[in-house]
Amino acid sequence: MAERVETRLVTGGRAHGPGAPLGQSVTMSSTYRLGAELEYGRDGNATWAALEGVIGELEGGDAVAFGSGLAACAAVLDAVPGGGTVVAPRSAYHGFTDQLRARESVGRLTVRWVDIADAQAVAEAASGAAMVWLETPSNPLMAIADIAAADAARDPGSLLVVDSTFATPLLQRPIEHGADIVVHSATKYIGGHADLLLGLAICRDPGAAEALWEVRHREGAIPGSLEAFLALRGLRTLGVRLERAQSNAGELAARLDAHPAVSRVRYPGLADDPGHAVASRQMDGYGAMLSFETLGDAATADAVCERVRVITAATSLGGIESLIERRARYASERLSGTPPTLLRLSVGIEHVEDLWSDLDQALQPAVSSGAAAR
Ligand SMILES: *Cc1c(COP(=O)(O)O)cnc(C)c1O
């Protein structure tokens, strides 16, 4: 298809022909009259299928929807043979590192934890591994992994998986760079309005998608059809939402970088960010997530979250509203090395000057702590 991604987000998966509804229906039936392939609600659903069709087309593979992003991750991990080795990011979405640690602790698999921004380390760890798992940009350190380099280094027959949640299908299509499976928490940018949980896994190989379908059917982590409807509706506006949020994020990253209360900004769009070169090659934009560290200690950073008024102190990301959170408040994030004052900012679509004045006033305690230190 010749159209650009922005267009396909709007036109993809629409029913054609006279009288065809433009909007997707929400199919709520749990059972179907016998005589066709679809018999029961866990087998499939027309609303999931509509979402899966559009996402699969955008990413260049076959998509399977799950009840949450983590349910999609768990189903993908099911492809690792018993006792097999997974190369995984030392720092990544903490729900996922928890999922790996739980499997490791019962001997289900072995994990080789690596810094995924270090392509050499990924390449060395990949030898003999059944699966290489990248998350890029990573949550919350904004590390950028080189997908093509990992593809070149891994063993034949292994699976290369990319959690592309922060990038969305608009900014990064990992299958084009050699990935076998792409995972999204559609709870975030795809849904985009903080009103649903849903996960997606997209496979280059139809056989791998079939295997994921089997896992979903057997284990039961199905999405709700209303959630699938909302995710598809959210996806239609991803282009405009992300355009605004990304432009806000670029501006805020530059201003935070020059702020006297901020010691470090992590945003791949900054020219001196360690991930800038790879992100520029691999992505069609730097996204709307950024992290920064304040001067002072964890209490100073917490005070910033308490002072914001336009931005909301809450977990999650990828919605129209800006959210801020100190990630090291989670034990598993401290375990994977998240700095104590790191604040993750999911930049929304509000006016950038309102976001900036809010951040600037909220950073006052950190300014004072910096002055005290001097
Ligand atoms: C949120 C998130 C997940 C988990 O998704 P849920 O929908 O919350 O289960 C996985 N990966 C990344 C990068 C995330 O940010």
pLDDT tens digits in sequence order for the chain, 374 residues long: 579 999 999 999 988 899 999 999 999 999 999 999 999 999 999 999 999 999 999 999 999 999 999 999 999 999 999 999 999 999 999 999 999 999 999 999 999 999 999 999 999 999 999 999 999 999 999 999 999 999 999 999 999 999 999 999 999 999 999 999 999 999 999 999 999 999 999 999 999 999 999 999 999 999 999 999 999 999 999 999 999 999 999 999 999 999 999 999 999 999 999 999 999 999 999 999 999 999 999 999 999 999 999 999 999 999 999 999 999 999 999 999 999 999 999 999 999 999 999 999 999 988 888 777 76
Residue 89 neighbours by CB under 8 Å, 6+ apart: 97, 113, 114, 115, 116, 133, 134, 135, 138, 143, 145
Residues 135, 146: Cα–Cα separation, whole Å: 10
This prediction's pTM: 0.98
Residues 311, 164: Cα–Cα separation, whole Å: 24
For ligand 1, whether the C-beta of 140 sits within 6 Å is: no
Q: What are phi and psi of 27, to 5 degrees?
A: -90, 115
For ligand 1, whether the C-beta of 197 sits within 6 Å is: yes
For ligand 1, whether the C-beta of 133 sits within 6 Å is: no
Which residues are part of the catalytic machinery?
42, 93, 163, 188
Alpha-carbon distances, residue 257 vs 127, 262, 267, 332, 350 (angstroms)? 38, 7, 10, 27, 20
CATH 3.40.640.10 fits 5-14+33-236, yes or no: yes
Q: Where are the domains of the chain?
A: 5-14+33-236, 238-373
Alpha-carbon distances, residue 23 vs 20, 27, 57, 236 (angstroms)? 9, 12, 18, 11
- Distance (Å) from CA 135 to ligand 1 centroid: 11
Atom number in ligand 1 closest to CA 165: 13
Number of H helices, E strands in the chain: 15, 12
Residues 371, 291: Cα–Cα separation, whole Å: 22
In this structure, which topology does domain 238-373 adopt according to CATH? Aspartate Aminotransferase, domain 1 (3.90.1150)
Residues 213, 66: Cα–Cα separation, whole Å: 9
Q: Which residue has its alpha carbon closest to ligand 1 atom 6?
A: 69
Instruction: Give the β-pairing of 131-135 and 85-89.
Output: parallel
For ligand 1, whether the C-beta of 163 sits within 6 Å is: yes
Read off the DSSP letter of residue 359. H
